[in-house]
Amino acid sequence: MPLSLLLFLIAGLGGVAWLSARAKASALAGVGGPRLHSVPSYHGWYVALWAVVPALLFLLVWQIVSPALVTDAVLGTPAASSLPADPMGRQSILDEARSVASGELAGAFNPAAEALAPAYREAGSRYALIGAVLAVILAFAGGLFAFTRVRSDFRARTKVERLVMAVLFLASLIAVLTTLGIVLSLLFESMRFFAQVSPAEFLFGLNWSPQTALRADQAGSSGAFGAISLFWGTIFIGAIIAMIVAIPLGLMSAIYLTQYARPAARRWLKPALEILAGVPTVVYGYFAALTVAPAVRDLGVTLGLPASSESALAAGLVMGVMIIPFVSSMADDSIAAVPQAMRDGSLALGATPSETIRQVLLPAALPGVVGGILLAVSRAIGETMIVVMAAGLAANLTANPFESVTTVTVQIVQLLTGDQEFDSAKTLAAFALGLVLFVVTLLLNIAALSVVKRYREAYE
Amino acid sequence: MRARIRRRYAAERRFKWLGFAAVALSVGFLAFLLVSMASRGLGGFVETRVKLNIDFAASDLFLDPATLKGEGAEAALAAADIEGTVAAAAEKQFGPGGAAIVSEAAWLRVREAIREKPETLAGKTEFWLPSSSAFDTAAKSDGDPPSEAAYAKLNAAGGVSRGFNWSFLGGSDATDPTAVGIWGALKGSLLTMLVTIGLAFPIGVLSAVYLEEYAPRNRWTDLIEVSINNLAAVPSIIFGLLGLAVFLNVMHLPRSASLVGGLTLALMTMPVIVIAGRNAIKSVPPSIRDAALGVGASKVQVVFHHVLPLALPGILTGTIIGMARALGETAPLLMIGMRAFIATPPSGISEPATVLPVQIFLWSDEVSRGFVEKTSAAIIVLLVFLLAMNGLAIYLRNKFERRW
């Protein structure tokens, strides 16, 4: 029986359980009957849940367990006695036979696998049938058990609500599990990387060339994992060039929009700025590579500096533009949070609006603005597509913005696309870089939030 | 004194002007970006067609119209060398090298025509076929000299026309820029978004309800809140690493599938939905809860019958914004292998697929000049989708926003 049909059947049983339990509860309550503790539909839900949930849980377990049972059954058949004894060869034949039995492969290359396929098919359908029958029995048993408990004083609502609360709690645990998953997977793979490359070399080495040689006599690809030039490239693009663009433009935009712009203009300009934040990064990357990079290179050539077609400046400029709305909205919030009395006091003393902004509002809002800038930096250094498309791959330790530099995120993408073998230092290096990126963005976020929090407390 | 006031007022005007310049520069950049994408990309929706007369009767094509009716028609079509016939006809009509004028995929259209009307095989037929990438470029802007010359000659003779490029909307990835389409990537995006919203929306809303309405103040709750706030700020590429390490290497889910892409993006979108959901739930006034509790509703009933329906517009707005972000996301999907060359649209969530932003990234890497306008055209499609989603979110917010 196909799984979808089985699920449909169980859902149907649940529906029947709901209807019959509600009918029974309504009948109990009938005219002149006892007063129910819970409304009839809660009795319905209680019985339906008893019918459906255990059966589904059983099916889930069965899906995990049954392949092993099927394999055992196949190994017990006479056809399996001729299998080779070594585990590798045995496993490959079994896998092939399974693919043939399930129809993924039209025919087997190995005659032994071909011979095992019917056994697989037979055992598979037998265990599927057993699972289906057990699930349906479980659904009936659960439903009947719950149905007998439906009485006028039965607290169906409390029971159902307890389950609802459990589901809510489990849903909120997913976030913790995700964080845990990120930390553990990064840590685990990084450990394997650091078993091959020493952490000191990774964090302080200057030479980055992750291509490991296939043969010992190949030249030039020794596999060096000194990530300093990547860290420098990331900081150069994300924290220096992008911020030189984003901080003045974002801050001045926020000041103009909150202090000077007429409401009508503000209503149009603010969403326009927000669109900048909504443009996908791949579009920015394409724009940077196709339009900005050639212009930047021409500028570099005019200035007489060594310029390459992929430059830190092009990527940084476009990234700065992407960050503008971010800085602007954070600055907007913190300026708006400065008490009106401070502004009024300054204006009443005869200061012009710009003097008020520069000498009263900005100093008061500074912690919030700094927090916003820290968050913006954390976003900029984690940004991937713009730098992948516009910043280049060569690990250069240069301060010339017209030259190509590479960043942590570019190298992660570079190391993990194409062929991967999961124990080479090259692939694992991506996880070590990811760990560094994760830790740095986490620290920046924590710092930003604590700055913002302390500042909020000052005015409350 | 007066000079000083004048100086201060000048500084005031300068400052105001600077502020305006900052806004104008930012908005101007947006306008420049959109206009440059539009001017480059609109050409991608137009194809250049050339007129080609194919004389099937005189050609080397061995294809009996009778075999094209009933069974065996597909096999007969597949066996026939239609591609060669089209190339030969082009060489004959346009002179030596003429086959380079017609798109590599043009013979597929001839095959469709034959399939629909086997009678065409009997005589001479006039076809309007898509031109090759080099010719197309020459027709639209400036191409290489031989294509320019061929275009000038054909155009003067009235053998060139333009039309809407339907195959761009209906096709999938291909090696020839005149034959590419975005339907495959778009379908991949839709399937991925379906998985994402199916997971992120219920989990996000339920966690928001738990944290805002029921969670006791203790360490567990703090831990949950801290992890949600951090997840919202984790770089997207880290989610890609998580997807690679957990979904592919531990759980062995199929590579490049929209199932894995959707799962990864769901983990990324969920914190956005939780935060939006909490704000929406928080803005429902306590008097609603008190009133419901007062007439005897249980705590669960209060939330699911009263608070949640009132908070739903706010939650939906946040969800749409989160989904728009997920739709434009590229980096995590590269990590889980959704960058393969996919020439057929995926038919299910476990099939290899690609998504629109990744398709844009792949095309942007192509060297052929014909891909420039296709990339920009795909960007236009993506931006139209994103603008529509954001517009819907703003509309919902304005329509249902309630001030208590």
Q: Quote the pLDDT of residue A104.
A: 65
Contact B210 A354 (CB under 8 A): no
* Cβ pairs bridging A and B (under 8 Å): 236
Q: In angstroms, what separates the C-alpha of B182 from chain A's closest C-alpha?
A: 16
HEC per residue, chain A: CCHHHHHHHHHHHHHHHHHHHHHHHHHHHCCCCCCCCCCHHHHHHHHHHHHHHHHHHHHHHHHHHHHHHHHHHHHHCHHHHHCCCCHHHHHHHHHHHHHHHHCCCCCCCCHHHHHHHHHHHHHHHHHHHHHHHHHHHHHHHHHHHHHHCCCCCCCHHHHHHHHHHHHHHHHHHHHHHHHHHHHHHHHHHHHHHHHHCCHHHHHHCCCEEEEECCCCCCCCCEEEECCHHHHHHHHHHHHHHHHHHHHHHHHHHHHHHHHHCCHHHHHHHHHHHHHHHHCCHHHHHHHHHHHHHHHHHHHHHHHCCCCCCCCHHHHHHHHHHHHHHHHHHHHHHHHHCCCHHHHHHHHHCCCCHHHHHHHHHHHHHHHHHHHHHHHHHHHHHHCCHHHHHHCCCCCCCCCCCCCCCCCHHHHHHHHHCCCCCCCCHHHHHHHHHHHHHHHHHHHHHHHHHHHHHHHHHHCC
The residue among A317, A327, A312, A41 whose CA lies nearest residue A157 is: A41
Q: Measure in Å the smallest separation between the Cα of A357 and chain B Cα atoms.
A: 10
Judging contacts by C-beta atoms under 8 Å, the chain B residues touching residue A186 are 238, 241, 245
With CA atoms as reference, the chain A residue closest to B30 would be: A276
Name the pLDDT band for A4 (thresholds 50, 70, 90).
Answer: confident
Asked if A168 lies within 8 A of B230 by C-beta distance, the reply is no
What pLDDT score does A117 carry?
77
Q: Which residues of A touch B11 (CB under 8 A)?
A: 352, 354-355
Measure in Å the smallest separation between the Cα of A88 and chain B Cα atoms.
19
Stretch A191-217: mean pLDDT, rounded?
76
Residues of A in contact with B237 (CB under 8 A): 382, 384, 409, 412-413, 434, 437
Q: Do A416 and B335 touch (CB under 8 A)?
A: yes
Determine whether the interchain pair A437/B238 forms a contact, defined as Cβ–Cβ distance below 8 Å: yes
pLDDT for position A106: 66
What's residue A333's pLDDT? 86
C-beta atoms of B230 and A179 within 8 A? yes
Instruction: Residue B121: name the closest of B67, B52, B50, B49 by CA.
Output: B67
Q: Say which residue, B143 or A7, is predicted with more confidence.
A: A7
Assess whether pLDDT exceeds 60 at residue A213.
no
Instruction: Tell me the pLDDT tens digit for each residue of A304-324.
Output: 877 777 888 999 999 999 999
Q: Which residues of A touch B270 (CB under 8 A)?
A: 174-175, 178
Of B15, B270, B358, the CB nearest to A175: B270
**pLDDT score at B35:** 92
For B267, the closest of A178, A385, A409 (CB atoms) is A178
Residues of A with Cβ-Cβ distance to B19 under 8 angstroms: 252-253, 255-256, 259-260
The answer to whether A438 contacts B234, with C-beta atoms less than 8 Å apart, is yes
Cα-trace Rg, chain B: 29
For position A1, what pLDDT does the model report? 55
Mutation for B interface: A64, A282, A383, A450, most B CBs within 10 A: A282
- B contacts of A417 (beta carbons < 8 Å): 334, 339
Residue B241's pLDDT is what? 92
| Min Cα–Cα distance to chain B from A417, Å | 7
Nearest to A280 among B244, B271, B382 (CB): B382
Which chain A residues are Cβ-neighbours of B18 within 8 angstroms? Answer: 252
Contact B235 A276 (CB under 8 A): no
Chain B nearest CA to A333, separation (Å): 16
pTM of the model: 0.86
Instruction: Give how far A303 is from chain B: nearest CA, Å.
Output: 24
A390 chain-B contacts, CB cut-off 8 A = none
In chain B (404 residues long), the average pLDDT of successive 10-residue segments reads 91 93 93 90 83 75 69 72 78 75 78 76 78 78 74 76 82 81 90 94 94 89 88 91 88 86 94 93 92 92 92 91 92 86 82 90 85 89 91 83 68
pLDDT in tens, A260-289: 989 898 888 888 888 888 899 999 999 998
The confidence score (pLDDT) of residue B315 equals 92
Say if the Cβ atoms of B229 and A379 lie within 8 Å: no
To test the contact with chain B by mutation, choose from A266, A286, A332 the residue with the greatest count of B C-beta atoms within 10 A, namely: A286
Q: Which of A102, A165, A169, A182 would you mutate first to test chain B, the one with the most B CBs within 10 A?
A: A182
On chain B, the residues whose CB falls within 8 A of the CB of A434 are 237-238, 241
Chain A residues within 8 A of B372 when measuring between CB atoms = 290
Facing residue for A161 by CB, picked from B298, B324, B335: B298
Nearest chain A residue (CA) to B327: A280
The answer to whether B383 contacts A283, with C-beta atoms less than 8 Å apart, is: yes
Range of lowest pLDDT (A115-124, A204-213, A383-392): A204-213
Mutation for A interface: B25, B241, B270, B339, most A CBs within 10 A: B241
In degrees, rounded to 5, the angle at the alpha carbon of residue B316 between the alpha carbons of residues B312 and B319 is 140
Query: Closest partner residue to B386 among A168, A278, A353, by Cβ?
Result: A278
Chain B hits for A354, Cβ within 8 Å: 11-12, 15-16
Which chain B residue's Cα is nearest to A284?
B33
Residue A220 predicted with pLDDT over 60: no
State both tokens at A141.
Answer: 């048993």
Q: Percent of chain A scored above 90 by pLDDT?
A: 28
A191 has pLDDT over 70:
yes
Residue A346: pLDDT band with limits 50, 70, 90 = very high
Chain A neighbors of B20, CB-CB under 8 A: 256, 260
Q: Could you read off the pLDDT of A125-179 as tens digits, one per residue?
A: 888 888 889 999 999 899 888 888 888 788 888 888 999 999 999 999 998 999 9
